[in-house]
Amino acid sequence: MLMDDLHNFIIQLDLFAAEQMKSETGLVKVTPALRKTDVPGEIVIMEKDYDAMFSIERFPYQQVSSDRLLAHICAWLHQQQDWWKVTQPEIELVVQVDDSYVADVDFIVQITEQVIATENPLGEIEFDGLRYAL
């Protein structure tokens, strides 16, 4: 899931302690797609729409600006080319200042993620007379 990759990316930035961040999905809406891609032997089996919700407790905003964190996130999202073609991401941000050094930062990234299946004679998904695997 793209959300898991983003979570790991943010942790690897090492801007705060890993245990300070939690992430979860909101309601996941699945839309069957079953259409071919530009790559032979691949189909978009479904699209998943969800909110990826991230929460960072005691974010050291005096040392690391929220703009710096968001710039990293925006650059990473833009590099996810396959996903970027599907959706124009928006990030909702809420910052709750605890004191003059730290704040709780919550942000939501709205994601539409395509699930791709590849033609495979041993695949378990059957569509249009062919077999596919995720």
Read off φ and ψ for residue 122, nearest 5 degrees.
Answer: -95, 0
Domain ranges in the chain are 2-133
Whole-angstrom Cα distance, residue 109 to residue 48?
Answer: 13
Distances (CA, A) of 86 to 38, 47, 48: 14, 9, 11
Read off φ and ψ for residue 72, nearest 5 degrees.
Answer: -60, -45
Whole-angstrom Cα distance, residue 80 to residue 63?
Answer: 28
Q: How many residues does the chain have?
A: 134
pLDDT digits (tens, 9 = 90+) for 96-128: 999 989 999 999 998 888 899 999 999 999 998
What is the pTM (predicted TM-score) of this model?
0.81
pLDDT digits (tens, 9 = 90+) for 12-33: 999 999 999 999 998 999 999 9
